[in-house]
Each structure stands twice: as structure tokens, then as C-alpha cells.
Amino acid sequence: MSKKLSVYSTQASHSGQMIQTDAANNFWEQIEYAYHQNISFLGTGGGHGYSATLDTVENGIEIDLGHFNTVFIDKDANTMTVGGSVHFANITGLLYDAGKEFQVGSCSCVGLVGASLGGGVGPYGGLHGLQLDALQSVRMVTGTGSLVNVSATSHPDLWWGMRGAGFNFGIVTSATFQVYNFTNNGQAMSADFRFHASQNASLYEFARSYTGKLPDAFSIDIAIAYNEVFGGTYLFANFIYAGPLEEGMALIQPIIKLGPFDQNITMIPWKDIETSSKFGIDALACIKGNFHSVWGLNLYQIDVPTLIDAVSYMDTVYAQYPDFREAFLAIDMYASRVIESVPDDATAYPYRNAVARFLLDVGFPNSSFATAASQVGRDARSLFVPTSGASTSNIEVYVHYGHGDEGQLGWYTERKLPRLNALKNEYDPNKLFSHYNALEATYDVPK
């Protein structure tokens, strides 16, 4: 059983400057005590995570950072400083009103800091790179109880590791990010389509044709889902283009010619991408307390035959397990030119060369379905492993899409691990922060 602590922040903004009474001082002593007593921690902000390793806290302490929730935007400096528990939903409207934009995530309820520490992918990645690439500094408490400011000039060794594996070393109480002036006056085309399952090959071939050459402002998201109203198994697709509508329409003309049975094409403010695109399914992903078994994999190529097999597989799953009909299997593709322009050795993030990601979310009604859900996820992932294009035999996965069984090599790669493990030994030697796809940890999670 874990004990939960609520930690309060007293940050405020006044006359264009930030005034901060650092609430980290209220608990860094507790972490220092836990370090000496070898009591593990799990810090939670957004409270929205996929990995089964999150369920491994026993006789530990969960630190609820819910009151580290302030946002300060410096329009002149193009920066934003946020508390450790701020969600995407807390920043998008404020940034939009300030005439700024940021790399949005996949769900408005996700914690911004937590997402960025692992990478931070999304449809504006082609314009601004990963969320971690916008990170300028963090204030944090390490696993030894030290309160430190970390940036390129302060603890630069830890700064490297924080950007890609940051949740291994401590709790971030605040972070400062670069933000950006509007692209296309803050407007983007969001195009949603629904297709019959029989049209899947043509849809996936369209995605394959853009492998490695997506325009910076263009993104593709295609998912297999189920709805009896639509005849059972079907596909939905979302295309975001952060540019003029006529340019976006030209890009998706081949999709329109495929003859979707439903579509919604509109220009929306960038701040509404998370909540309005994909026919508004973001709200379902943000419901607290639901049961999910989530599986992911990096893709370095788009193999259309594998995706065709995946449609058939999911059709069988929906027929065999009616309780799994909220499950969806998606691939997302975001432009990579800006992401790959950052040298691989500049950060701990290991997968700048991935062209897409596979994600399967098996929702189910109660814990009695967990074993069957894991079997579905494992079998689906195994379809993609042989044709993923990975250069190693590891199950390579974006750490935030990890199920928990992939291990360190799958999350962080062999080339990053020596340096990361050295940082772990220095900043969290007792492995207090080891409950989320952690370094030097072995998990007994549903396989």
C-alpha cells in the first residue's frame, strides 16, 4: 500500500513577473528522509499514464503535485513557465489568447511536464519538434532530496538525461518552455473521415506514400475501431494541416476521392486540436478510472500488408470479445524534419528517426478481463514487430506508449543506457523513482 501526500504551491504572477514561494521546500526534506530510509516515490501530476509499471508502488509514497498548477507566459521572451501538474488543457487557451502556440499532445488531460520529459510527440512536431526540444529549464527535487535548477548551464549532465528519461531522477516542480508565434494566424485544418474497413489498403497506402516526406505542417492519424452504427469494424482518419485551407485540401484530395462514408473538414484554432479533432474522441480518453491495456511500437517504415492484417485481426477481436469493442488500433505520423535536425546525442531521447508509432488501447469493463486484454495486445504488437523496420531485435517503443514489458533496451536503447544509468546512480542511487518504465528496474507486469 502506498501513502499519498498532497503538495501545495504558492506560485503567483504579478505585474508581469513571477513571484514564487517554492513549495518544493515543503517536501524535499521528505524525499531526503525517504532516500535514507529507502522508501520509494511516485510523483503524479496529470495522473494519465499507460504503463502497467505504474501499478508497482508498494509500501511507498505517492506525491500528488496537483497544486503545482500555475502558468506564466512571457510574451516578449516567448517562454512559458508551468507547475509540475499542469495539463495541456490548462495552457492551450492561455497561449492562444497571448498569440502563441506550442506542440500539442494527444489528450488535453495529459500532464505537460511528464509528457515532455519522455519526448512529447504531436501534430505540430513538424513545425516545432518534440516538446522536450522546447524545454529550457526545470526546477526539481532529485532522488537524494536535493533541490536543483537544471538547464544547459546548470547540471548539464542531468539536463541531457531529463530530456528523454526525466522521470527517473526526481520530481519536477516547475518547468520553462519556449513557445512560438502563431503559424497561419493560429488556425489549422482538421479533417476527419470514416471509412468502411474494406477501404483500408488504399488509406494505408496514402500514409505509406508520405513516409519520411511529410510536409512540416501536415500530420496523419489512422485508427481501426468498432461501432455497430457504422456496420462494425471501420477506420477513422484525422489529418491536421497548420496552413491555409486550400493547401490542406489539396493534400487530402486522394482521401476524399476514396469516398469516406462520413467526413468533417473545418478550420479550427490550434488550441482546439486535442478536443475537436478525431470527431472529439479526446473526451473518452480522459475519463478517469477506466481499465486500459495499452501497447505500442515504433515504426521505421509503413508496411501496408501488416496494416491490412491488423484490420482483420481487430475484426476478429471485436467478434470474439464484445467487451473489447471500445478498443482502437492506431498509427500516427508526424513530420520529422525538425525533430531529426537535433543531433541524436544532444538529448537522452533515442527515437528521432521513427517515422510513425503503433498504439493499441484495449479498454475493458473490469479487472477480470485483464488477462485477455493483455493477450490481445501482445498478439497485435507481434504482428508489427517483424515489419517495423527496427535495426535491433528489441521491442523499440516511445516510452509513453510502452506497456511495461519492453524493458530498458526498448525504452532507452543500448547506446543511451550507459550514460543514463550513471546519472541514475548519481541522482537517484536508491532507485526511489522506479515506478514508470524506469532505469535499472525489473517489473512483474501483465505480459
d(CA 295, CA 124): 23
Largest CA distance in the chain: 65
In the prediction, which pLDDT does 20 show? Answer: 34
d(CA 386, CA 374): 19
Residue 289 is inside which H or E element, if any? none
d(CA 52, CA 445): 6
Q: Is the torsion defined by CA of 167, 168, 170, 175 positive or negative?
A: negative
In the prediction, which pLDDT does 9 show? Answer: 30
Task: Indicate whether 99 pLDDT > 80.
Answer: yes
Angle 91-136-300 from CA coordinates, rounded to 5°: 85
- 378-396 pLDDT per residue, tens: 999 999 999 999 999 999 9
Residue 305 is inside which H or E element, if any? helix 304-320
Contact 352, 125 (CB under 8 A): no
Alpha helices, DSSP H only, in 210-279?
Answer: 245-257, 273-276
Per the rule left: phi > 0, alpha: psi between -120 and 50, beta: everything else, 48 is: beta
The pTM assigned to this predicted structure is: 0.91
- Phi, psi angles (nearest 5°) of residue 36: -75, -30
Of 176, 177, 179, 170, nearest in space to 65 by CA: 170
- Phi, psi angles (nearest 5°) of residue 349: -60, 125
Among 24-38, 187-201, 265-279, 288-302, whose mean pLDDT is lowest?
Answer: 24-38
Task: Indicate whether 339 pLDDT > 60.
Answer: yes
Amino acid residing at 95? L
Task: Indicate whether 277 pLDDT > 90.
Answer: no
In the prediction, which pLDDT does 2 show? Answer: 40
d(CA 323, CA 384): 24
In the prediction, which pLDDT does 18 show? Answer: 31
Segment 197-211 mean pLDDT: 97
d(CA 132, CA 150): 13
